[in-house]
Amino acid sequence: MWGDDLGEVPRTLLDSAVRCFAERGFHATTTRDVSAGAGLSPAALYVHFPSKEAVLYEITRRGHESALAVVRDPAVTDIPEAATRLRAIVAAFVAWHARHHVVARVCQYELASLTAEHHEDIRRLRRRFNTVFRDAVVTGTAQGVFATGDVDRVVRAMLSLGIDLVRWYRLGGADSPEDLGAFYGELAVRMVTAGA
Amino acid sequence: MWGDDLGEVPRTLLDSAVRCFAERGFHATTTRDVSAGAGLSPAALYVHFPSKEAVLYEITRRGHESALAVVRDPAVTDIPEAATRLRAIVAAFVAWHARHHVVARVCQYELASLTAEHHEDIRRLRRRFNTVFRDAVVTGTAQGVFATGDVDRVVRAMLSLGIDLVRWYRLGGADSPEDLGAFYGELAVRMVTAGA
């Protein structure tokens, strides 16, 4: 998740921060909480990150990049038939969010705590998800297999399905990440298929 | 929203608490913040509520009851034709969440901060939403207009669409609450309609 460019201590700090932010929220977490959760002395965080917000930014940026990699995998985006491609994109997006639901919760619910500059960086990454989903829908409409309609609104609804599960999904329940991904992939195709 | 059984001061306190919890989260909000936001002295909250958690419970309970009233309106639930009924239920649910997105954010994202007993009360209310959605889907399957499938999973997906919009919806944008409700009502019907 965090990438090979980070040493073990910063990674442990990011893991601890994810747990703290997901449980109590960014505002109610102190840098001492994050350091203590990593088994380090109170000021240890500042050796590796300039601020609590910088920790949130690293989590959010690396989380988004990890999710983006699965939906931009050429094995998915190069599928020529639009319904199959859309099903695969949604399945990958949903399975990632289910598997990494704690990191994803921080990525989705704490954006307002980023600085304006960092927030803009993340918005830029988020627009790339829209592009991947949008391309599949537009391709299917051009191929005549999807109904015409409001592409931006339907893409937002598909993204909502994947994102909202981080609120309620827990690993070890009835649905594996892949089961839920396959089910939502089918729903997404139906959302762009006109009634019989 | 808050009901006629509450006086003006408690209502002002609930309004202030909604703003505080939605902006900074329950854990990072103090009872002084809530009182100050209502223009009252620091301890004023305790005249009306025994604790900060009791305030969250009142918001969450009254919020859920208000949303439940719109989807259980007989003008909606008595519609005999299942697709029309499902469209109307989803439209009402989505429009309520869009119009009241700040209260709804607190209702959805702070449940873990309730006491076990209060949490169970809210879970009981939440099961009633499932029942309303479920009845419409099951009716449509029995009428032969909806595809057979996993009713619980598809109902959860429909609820997710309505709930996730509280994360991103803002009043005054391109979609009115009613526009978005109508659009999502149509998506919900498609979700239970098999491909052509």
Structure tokens at B188: 């919900």
**CA nearest B111: which of B63, B45, B170?**
B63
pLDDT band with cut points at 50, 70 and 90 for residue A61: very high
DSSP string, chain A: ---TTS-HHHHHHHHHHHHHHHHH-STT--HHHHHHHTT--TTTHHHH-S-HHHHHHHHHHHHHHHHHHHHS-HHHHT--SHHHHHHHHHHHHHHHHHHTHHHHHHHHH-GGGS-HHHHHHHHHHHHHHHHHHHHHHHHHHHTTSS----HHHHHHHHHHHHHHHHHH--TTSSS-HHHHHHHHHHHHHHHTS---
Chain B nearest-CA distance from A67, in A, is 19
Say yes or no for a CB contact (<8 Å) between B195 and A194: no
Say yes or no for a CB contact (<8 Å) between A195 and B189: yes
- Structure ipTM: 0.92
Does the pLDDT value for residue B196 go beyond 60?
Answer: no
Say yes or no for a CB contact (<8 Å) between B195 and A189: yes
What pLDDT, on the 0 to 100 scale, is given for residue A1?
86
Q: What DSSP element (H or E) covers B84?
A: helix B82-99
Say yes or no for a CB contact (<8 Å) between A26 and B27: no
What pLDDT, on the 0 to 100 scale, is given for residue B3?
85
Contact between A55 and A73 (Cβ < 8 Å): no
What are the sequence ranges of the domains in chain A?
51-191
Residues of B in contact with A164 (CB under 8 A): 160-161, 163-164, 167
Q: Which residue of B has its CA nearest to A94?
A: B157
Residues of A in contact with B184 (CB under 8 A): 157
What pLDDT, on the 0 to 100 scale, is given for residue B64?
98
Rounded to 5 degrees, what angle do the CA atoms A185, A187, A192 make?
100
Rounded to 5 degrees, what angle do the CA atoms B16, A112, B109 make?
60
Q: For chains A and B, what is the number of CB pairs under 8 angstroms?
A: 75
Segment A4-41, tens digit of pLDDT: 899 999 999 999 999 999 999 999 999 999 999 999 99
Structure tokens at A158: 């598909």
Q: Which residue of B has its CA nearest to A111?
A: B167
Cα separation, A45 vs B102, whole angstroms: 33
Q: Chain B residues contacting A, CB < 8 Å?
A: 24-28, 108-109, 150, 153-154, 156-157, 160-161, 163-165, 167-168, 175, 183-184, 187, 189-191, 193-196
Cα separation, B3 vs B61, whole angstroms: 11
Q: Which CATH number fits domain B52-191: 3.30.950.10, 1.10.357.10, 3.40.718.10, 1.10.10.10?
A: 1.10.357.10
- HSE at residue B61, side-chain half, CA atoms within 13 A, is 14
- Among A27, A160, A189, the residue with its CB nearest the CB of B24 is A27
**CA nearest A21: which of A95, A96, A110, A90?**
A110
Average pLDDT, chain A: 96
What pLDDT, on the 0 to 100 scale, is given for residue A3?
85
Say yes or no for a CB contact (<8 Å) between A161 and B163: no
Segment A93-148, tens digit of pLDDT: 999 999 999 999 999 999 999 999 999 999 999 999 999 999 999 999 999 999 98
What pLDDT, on the 0 to 100 scale, is given for residue A15?
98
Lowest-confidence segment of A187-191, B3-7, B81-85 by average pLDDT: B3-7
Provide mean pLDDT across the span A143-160: 95
Q: Chain A residues contacting B, CB < 8 Å?
A: 24-28, 108-109, 150, 153-154, 156-157, 160-161, 163-165, 167-168, 175, 183-184, 187, 189-191, 193-196
Segment A86-103, tens digit of pLDDT: 999 999 999 999 999 999
Q: What DSSP element (H or E) covers B167?
A: helix B151-168
Chain B nearest-CA distance from A79, in A, is 20
Segment B137-175, tens digit of pLDDT: 999 999 999 998 999 999 999 999 999 999 999 999 989
Say yes or no for a CB contact (<8 Å) between B191 and A187: yes
Tokens 């990525």 appear where?
A: A107
B89, B95, B100, B101: CA torsion to nearest 10: 100
Provide mean pLDDT across the span B15-27: 95
Tokens 């399957």 appear where?
A: B141
Segment B128-144, tens digit of pLDDT: 999 999 999 999 999 99
- Among B108, B157, B196, the residue with its CB nearest the CB of A161 is B157
What pLDDT, on the 0 to 100 scale, is given for residue B8?
94
- Among A160, A167, A193, the residue with its CB nearest the CB of B190 is A193
Cα separation, A70 vs A162, whole angstroms: 13
Q: Is B69 exposed, middle or buried (0-12, 13-18, 19+ CB in 10 A)?
A: exposed
Does the pLDDT value for residue A149 go beyond 60?
Answer: yes
**CA nearest B17: which of B2, B38, B1?**
B38
pLDDT band with cut points at 50, 70 and 90 for residue A78: very high
What pLDDT, on the 0 to 100 scale, is given for residue A196?
47
Q: Is A180 exposed, middle or buried (0-12, 13-18, 19+ CB in 10 A)?
A: buried
Superfamily of domain A51-191: Tetracycline Repressor, domain 2 (1.10.357.10)
Average pLDDT, chain B: 96
Rounded to 5 degrees, what angle do the CA atoms A183, B157, B89 make?
140
pLDDT band with cut points at 50, 70 and 90 for residue B1: confident
Cα separation, A91 vs A86, whole angstroms: 8
Residues of B in contact with A28 (CB under 8 A): 25, 27-28
